[in-house]
Amino acid sequence: MNQRKPFMAANWKMNLKRDESVELVKAIAAQAPDPDRVEVLVAPPFTSIATVKEAIGSAPILLAGQNMHWEPQGAYTGEVSPPMLVEAGCTHVILGHSERRSLFGETDEMIDRKAKSAVRFGLTPIICIGESLKEREEDRTTEVIEAQLRGSLKSFTDQKRLPPAVLLAYEPVWAIGTGETATPEDASQAHGVLRTRLRKVLGDSRAVATPILYGGSVKPENAAELMRAPGVDGVLVGGASLDPVSFLAIARAGVPLT
């Protein structure tokens, strides 16, 4: 039986000032789906996190940072630490988003350090993994996503210390912000590869409990179909999460139909 609760996450990226963030999260909170049946999370830009936390109040919406440094403090101009995210109200942090990897040079080794540090400070990492168009065309998807997964969780494997919880987000780079979505079959196939690899890295029971989200041009029109794809436990939504009506429609597509 699938013990993973559907997980519907919004990545606001570098969008929305504070008052716009508050307006959006309040609109989501007003109609958030039943938290017993689906988890909803938002990841605002750093400057809005604390204000969004206040606006959420007791509504069932989780909060994540979009990135962090691995050190708890120090001379790292422009960076934000795990304890700072915790203080602002985050329970989760997105790590290794393809925009971080491609635009800011993040490597699997850096993501591994960040994941280890996130867990140390009580944050649940959402680790993003995905192949580029070139890699897909060269038929290297499996090899690339397996290597990213291994590299991003290396410390946990080496030290045989399992994180209390971790989420993966399969985000094929060619589908992010492009309007191109992976087919449900593509998503299932990649999620299957990640789950199999995860068994080797984290062991069977942890691998079964780990949600794997799909990200890349998720919209109200394709969310239900993607959620029905075997192995897809949730979504990580960029563009369509900036509009409350479309994000709520997507979030509702996560509610199981029992």
At its nearest, how many Å lie between ligand PGA and the CB of residue 162? 26
**Catalytic-labelled residue, pool 39, 99, 131, 171:** 171
Rounded to 5 degrees, what angle do the CA atoms 217, 166, 150 make?
A: 85
Beta carbon nearer to ligand PGA, 154 or 236: 236
Query: Contact letters (x/-) for ligand PGA, 53-72, by CB under 6 A?
Result: --------------------
251: left (phi over 0), alpha (psi -120 to 50) or beta: alpha
Give the binding-site size for ligand PGA (rule: CB under 6 A): 13
Quote the DSSP letter at residue 6: P
Instruction: Report how far residue 74's alpha carbon sits from residue 162's, in angstroms, rounded to the nearest whole number.
Output: 27
Task: Provide the minimum distance between the beta carbon of 25 and ligand PGA in the complex, in angstroms, as a whole number.
Answer: 18
Between residues 156 and 250, which has the closer beta carbon with respect to ligand PGA? 250
**Choices 65-73, 135-143, 169-177, 190-198 (CB under 6 A): range interacting with ligand PGA:** 169-177
Of 64, 4, 65, 6, nearest to 39 (Cα)? 6
Q: Which is nearer to ligand PGA, 47 or 102 (CB)?
A: 102
Among 237, 248, 250, 253, binds ligand PGA (CB under 6 A): 237
Q: How far apart are CA 4 and CA 160, in angstroms?
A: 23
Amino acid sitting at position 193: V
Residue with smaller CB distance to ligand PGA, 2 or 102: 102
Minimum distance from residue 20 beta carbon to ligand PGA (Å): 17
Residue 81: φ, ψ to 5°: -100, 165
Q: Which residue has the tokens 């850096």?
A: 110
| Closest to 95 measured CA to CA, from 78, 77, 113 | 113
Residue 189, judged by CB atoms within 10 A of its CB (0-12, 13-18, 19+), counts as middle
Residue 54 CA to residue 253 CA, distance in Å, equals 27
Q: Which two tokens stand for residue 101?
A: 């990897």
Catalytic: 109?
Answer: no
Which window, 30-38, 52-60, 153-161, 237-245, contacts ligand PGA (CB under 6 A)?
237-245
The residue sitting closest to ligand PGA, measured at its beta carbon, is 238
Site for ligand PGA in 170-189 (CB under 6 A): 171, 176-177
Which long-range contacts does 140-145 make (Cβ < 8 Å, 24+ apart)?
Answer: 141/172, 141/190, 141/193, 142/193, 145/170, 145/190, 145/193, 145/194
Our CB check for ligand PGA shows the closer of 162 and 229 to be 229
List 39, 69, 92, 97, catalytic entry: 97
Query: Which one of 6, 7, 8, 11 is in contact with ligand PGA (CB under 6 A)?
Result: 11
- Look up 92 and say whether it is catalytic: no
Q: Which stretch binds ligand PGA (CB under 6 A): 15-23, 106-114, 230-238, 247-255?
A: 230-238
Catalytic residues: 97, 171
Task: Give contact residues for ligand PGA (rule: CB under 6 A).
Answer: 11, 171, 176-177, 215-218, 236-240
